[in-house]
Every structure is written in C-alpha cells, then in structure tokens.
Amino acid sequence: MLPPITGLHHVTAMCGDPQRNVDFYAGVLGLRLVKRTVNFDDPSTYHLYYGDALGAPGTLLTFFAWPGAQRGRRGTGQVAVTALRIPASSVSFWLDRLHTHQVVGVDVGKRDAATVISLADPDGMRLELVGTPEADDAKKDEAVWRGGPVTLEHAIRALHGVTAELAATPKTVALLTEVMGLKPADAEVGRKQRFRTVSSGGEKPNQFIELVAAPDDRPGQVSVGFVHHIAWRAQDAATQAAWREKLLSLGHAVSPVIDRTYFHAIYFREPGGVLFEIATDPPGFTADGETLETLGSHLQLPPQYEGRRAALEAGLPPIHLPSDHTSPQASPAE
C-alpha cells in the first residue's frame, strides 16, 4: 500500500521582471534565493527558487520569469492563493514590514485559530502569511534562513498551503482523500473545503489545500501573477514510481519521470484542471556542485545547456540580491 502524500514539495508561479521578483521575495519577505537557474524547457528565461537555508522540500516557492508577458486571469482550474507560515507572535511585525515596503492588498483576518495576513506580490499574485503556534515552536529551527533581512524570530518558516478555485470539487476531493491520503481539516463552510496532509510521524498537520467551488466562474488563464503548478512530496524515486503506476491505473495522464537536477518530477492534471507534480525529496540543491553556503549566488545550468552558457548569460537580464531598503511597489490583486 502506498504511503499518503506527506506534504507540499514546492509551488511554482510565473512572474514578470525577475529583479523585481528577487527584490520582493528575498528582500521584503526575506526568503533565501536558493537557486538561480533557467527554465529547463525554455533556457532563455530564469527559474528562481526561494526557500529556507537548505532549500528544503516544503519551504520552496519558485518562479518562471517572463518579462513582458501578459498577466493571467483569475478563474477556475487554478491556484488562487499561496499561503506561507509565520510565527503567530510575528503578525504585528509583518503588518509593519509590509506597510513600510508599501505592499498593496494587505488585509488581516482570522481562520480557525490562525491570524491570516492577505497581500499581493509585485505581479498581483495573491499571497497569505498565516500565523500559527506551531511556527512559534520552531523558532530555533536550524534550517530557518538567517542571512536575509528578516530576523530568526519573525522569519517565514515554510509553505502553509494553497487555495484552488474549481468549477466542481467532488472528483478532486476523491483524489485528495481516497488516493493521496489527505484528511479533512475542518467542516465544509459554504463553497470551501480544506484538507491537510499527514506527516509520516503521525497526525500532526503538515500543509493544507483549500478547494473553492465556483461553478459560475469562467476558466482562469495561467500567466504572470498566477501559480503554474503545485508539487507534492515523494520521499524517493521508488515511491514516486509507485505513485506514477497508481495514477496511471486510475486513468490519469501522467508524464514520464523528468530529471530536474534537484529532484525528479512527474506531472498530471487533477480533475479540476490544476497541474499537479509529484517531486522527489533528493537529491537537493547541492546536486549541481553549489555548497550550502553559496546556494543561489551564481547562475547554474543543467548539463544539457552548459555548452551554451555564454549565449544564455548574455541574453538573461542581470539580477542581484537586494538590500533591506528595497521597496518594490506591488500591483493590486485582481
């Protein structure tokens, strides 16, 4: 029997200006830029990875950078909100920081026992910072990034979850619960249902996916300012292969295993249209020779593009890590 999916591996979205993206996620939010590489399917564009000090699965938010591309359109069949976990005691700090950096769309509310800060990034992508007591308990976590502008006690800890808007939810609910092993997080409220992953160590909640039924909305368009796909964790290649066989047996169209250097990936669309990935935890972000100390400091290319390095570097806009004084102006959320 397959083990249940234990958490998110990463969330990948699309942005416009790559420097503005770095300024916001490494500068304002204080995440570590753990890898600057290229889109393996289009090496003329960046793929930027942010996370904790190690680039650990479950902390990763990544972006395909498409300067000049049109902005996406909100609708069904897409991830509408990406949530990041912060200590509950740090909510006031984050409200002050977001105000100082003139971030737009900032609002605060409650969800169960958590305080939720809503905001938009510079491309209008909808985000949440969710203050949870379990993040307070992790203040001494050695993997928390200490080299950025946000101090250890307030730093973002991990991905918290995602919200997907779907025309209909029953088939997706069946996939999440009957196949992937997620558990209902609370009672259904109106059009919303929430599910949690279960860690391999027991019933402790790991991450969440919220489904919003929007049968009257038009389909969304994934482009700049929106999530491209979400990735779930597989502990190793054997587990991933077993998941692929299981999904194929259920009639899902699943890609072959694809080597992404830092993990191996398979892709399929869940019944509501959101692109799902299952990614392996290993080999990790030092697989290309970068050390933990130097992660994200230089452009890293997969072996198939190394012979084109000079031309690719000449065509990519230069990016640099920001100081804490960078204040990118975000665009209003749709």
CA distance 129 to 205: 17
How high is the pLDDT of residue 32? 98
- Amino acid identity, residue 234? A
How high is the pLDDT of residue 325? 40
Position 139 confidence tier, pLDDT thresholds 50, 70, 90: low
CA distances, 134 to each of 107, 141, 144 (Å) = 22, 12, 14
Query: What is the pTM assigned to this prediction?
Result: 0.94
Position 198 confidence tier, pLDDT thresholds 50, 70, 90: confident
Hey, how many other C-beta atoms are within 10 angstroms of the C-beta on 55? 25
How high is the pLDDT of residue 191? 81
How high is the pLDDT of residue 254? 98
**Sheet of strand 263-269, all strands in order from the earlier edge strand to the far edge:** 32-39, 42-51, 60-65, 8-15, 227-234, 275-283, 263-269, 258-259
Per-residue pLDDT tens digits for 44-63: 999 999 999 999 999 999 99
Largest CA distance in the chain: 55
Per-residue pLDDT tens digits for 148-183: 999 999 999 999 999 999 999 999 999 999 999 999
How high is the pLDDT of residue 35? 98
Q: Indicate left, alpha or beta for 190 from its phi (over 0: left) and psi (-120 to 50: alpha).
A: left
CA distance 196 to 198: 6
Q: Write down the mean pLDDT value for the chain.
A: 92
How high is the pLDDT of residue 333? 41
CA distance 280 to 263: 5
Mean pLDDT of 223-241: 97
Encoded tokens for 297? 């400091």
Domains and CATH numbers, the chain: 8-315 (3.10.180.10)
Residue of 222, 205, 108, 123 whose CA lies nearest to 165: 222
